[in-house]
Structure 1
């Protein structure tokens, strides 16, 4: 009986475990160092009862980075925490930790050690009369999977939400499950910005999580930002003040409080909070992006006050502040090269600083990114179209990118803006040359999109007559 047969058997058992190695966490290679930083920050600054899981995730990330010895140390820390903190702790957490041990030993070629941990899992599953020897179905396990998915970036959020939903079906009043669910829905809400929906989908879950976790300042800060989105700024500010009065998870509360004050136009207050947070987590891509946005707001303020024609002292201030914004955006992108929206904001600031070549570079990086969602592409095409129209003075390229944005049929304010921008460019072209066949048919197309069929037909017919001549 050969070694290979053993290995196949172990592999078949490993595949049945529920742990970080089997949860199909979608993580791009370029996101790994940022993820590792975020996990370290969370271990240090987020006051949670859920630290065993985050040490497990850290072990998995270290393994992905090829550091198996260090990964074992992180699992050891998770084990020590389990023994220290949670005498009556859920078995789900033990199973996840043991599962990760088994996988790690397997990858290190230590099959006997892997088998020891497989046996531990098997004994626990037997104790709970689980139908499978190596898989445990329980809401705590769904919750652990949810936290792991939630930490690994946007492509995992839908699945994270589903995990917490499944856990809540079994135990609807569980404070931890409701927190995870509320955070997942909050983040998904941030993605699906549709203008016509009252998108307060996450307000109820957040309020419920607060009721069940009255001490959790982090969720209060999220709710505040959401209420502000919905035009309920005064109510939001009450939650921000409550969250700031509490010292728990302060570094994280500062982030969202700063976002709140920046959008309320209290830029100085926002910057003060962000700089305090930065002292704790200096490599946070989120913080550098937020600081950059504060400087960007200052640039636009000066520019607007100067009637968009800044000269002299105004021009100098814009150049100086734009440079600050640029340095923070670039730092955020070094930390997290997949942080799409930051490229748009970076290009903005290069345009303000009069450097179109660098702005073009930022757009090119974005246009080459594989992993962007459709609605993000819609906005990128629109912004790049504006760049072509106003900075590059190329109507032809502007038209191409507005059309690309419109082709993505998801309804959004960006798509509406793309349609009206396209219409303006084409009308300008027709003023110069009323016989321009292409412009006539594109104008017909924009009317068709707006549902004005008679006008659409009129322009299509004019284009066709010209074609026939």
Structure 2
């Protein structure tokens, strides 16, 4: 342990906070699934993929978050060695993040003199590169690395990652590494309901084509572009790209995974499973591969459910159905084993398979755990509310719990499919209730909420007033009425 006065230690911490590295980039242990992250990083290191130093740097950060500081130092030594080998002329520019991470790890180890020595190195490197902070330089290499780090963390960081790649490309517009990063961020955002990118869902294609112009052998760009072309019904070019990518990179798990998705969407399920199993041999802990295999088996299962013989215990179709149910449960379970915070879809799919298998209490446990999560993307919470609402309505026969969940999903502002379904379910439920009993206060309150969301304030006021007459102490109705009347008066005063 180095000896420093409290004032010196505080000053050192102040300098560390100015650095550009994983320790200052947002995603912390509360927002990422560390065990899953470690598996993914280890896979990319073991596979000796391009940009291995990037994985070593991020691995150091994850190890540090778990208190494994010696391992973190080893990760950084490996990153430094790779950078020296791969970027002889640009080593200093590429080492800014590694040195920043070194400084932070030594600080956490109490090795304050060593931490200061890395700050000194950074000051020497950054001085000719920037007029800004003494210990960092916002150059394309820093923006790009930050972008990739955020992309690897969690979906709530994709927008920020996209902005990082934009900044990197301002100064270095023909760098395939940053164009690929920008295309990847757009590609992922385009898949998320409610994001502005979803409305312009072919922007990523422009940048994926640009990557292939600059590097015709970039097989991951080929399969990603193929999936976008498939979305746009351009099947011929899409097929050619997938075949070319598999010829060029027959063993890279990310290429195999995306190609498998392409074949699954083309209904070539057996081909998709074959590719995913091949990828799983190389990266057995890859949760996304397990999720994709689960989806393939579920397609086969749903097809089998159409066959009436699958309900007959004496029939081979029944036994096949039970095998497929087991396969689905196994793979969806593996998909969220190390990703309880981020693999929301896999958990919902697992719960759905449990319900198909009559395991209602197990499904209920999954929904309960998911509903306790916080700081997750709004469209994910809406999906949880919708599916848990159906569970309460049809399996638990609890209208009140179902309505609460649909309302919760509806109050999260996000124009997703799940949001629309929550709206429809509430409307159907309220209409059904009011047909039987026009004085049902809960149903009247729900109709008031739906009209409020639709912007029909006078109709909403009417329903809430009627609901309040029947349930005078209901604070929710009172609060909604006050808000509506105030807004109504302000509008008419204009």
* Same-fold call, TM cutoff 0.5: yes
CA contact 1:55–1:74 (8 Å) conserved in 2: yes
- For 1:454 and 1:124, the matched residues in 2 are separated by 65
- Pair 1:390 & 2:394 matched: yes
Shift of 1:63: 1.4
Shift of 1:151: 1.6
Shift of 1:86: 2.0
After superposition, the Cα gap between the structure-2 partners of 1:14 and 1:143, relative to the gap in structure 1 and judged at 3 Å, is same
After superposition, the Cα gap between the structure-2 partners of 1:347 and 1:6, relative to the gap in structure 1 and judged at 3 Å, is same
In structure 1, the partner of 2:488 is none
* Per-residue deviation, residues 325-368 of structure 1 (Å, max 9, x unmatched): 11112222222111111111011100110111111111111101
The root-mean-square deviation of aligned C-alpha atoms, in Å, is 3.1
In structure 1, the partner of 2:373 is 369
In structure 2, the partner of 1:291 is 293
- 1:277-426 aligned within 5 A: 277-306=279-308, 313=315, 314-338=317-341, 339-426=343-430
In structure 2, the partner of 1:102 is 103
* Per-residue deviation, residues 91-134 of structure 1 (Å, max 9, x unmatched): 32122222222222222222332233222222222344644431
- For 1:436 and 1:113, the matched residues in 2 are separated by 70
- For 2:64 and 2:470, the matched residues in 1 are separated by 66
Shift of 1:185: 1.3
- Pair 1:219 & 2:210 matched: no
Shift of 1:407: 2.2
- 1:130-169 aligned within 5 A: 130-169=131-170
- Pair 1:252 & 2:267 matched: no
Instruction: Report the more deviating stretch, 403-412 or 356-365.
Output: 403-412
Q: Which runs of 5+ in 2 are unaligned?
A: 473-494
- For 1:449 and 1:117, the matched residues in 2 are separated by 55
- For 1:105 and 1:316, the matched residues in 2 are separated by 58
- Pair 1:91 & 2:53 matched: no
- For 1:157 and 1:30, the matched residues in 2 are separated by 13
- For 2:295 and 2:379, the matched residues in 1 are separated by 21
Within the candidate set 215, 231, 234, 1:229 is matched to 231
Shift of 1:383: 1.4
* Per-residue deviation, residues 378-436 of structure 1 (Å, max 9, x unmatched): 12111122222222233333333222222223222222222222333334334544554
Shift of 1:282: 0.4
Aligned length: 467
Shift of 1:220: 1.7
- Name the SS for the 2:67 alignment partner: coil
CA contact 1:261–1:267 (8 Å) conserved in 2: yes
After superposition, the Cα gap between the structure-2 partners of 1:303 and 1:287, relative to the gap in structure 1 and judged at 3 Å, is same
After superposition, the Cα gap between the structure-2 partners of 1:450 and 1:241, relative to the gap in structure 1 and judged at 3 Å, is farther
- For 2:449 and 2:16, the matched residues in 1 are separated by 56
- Pair 1:67 & 2:71 matched: no
In structure 2, the partner of 1:111 is 112
- For 1:306 and 1:453, the matched residues in 2 are separated by 50
Shift of 1:466: 8.4
- For 1:344 and 1:361, the matched residues in 2 are separated by 11
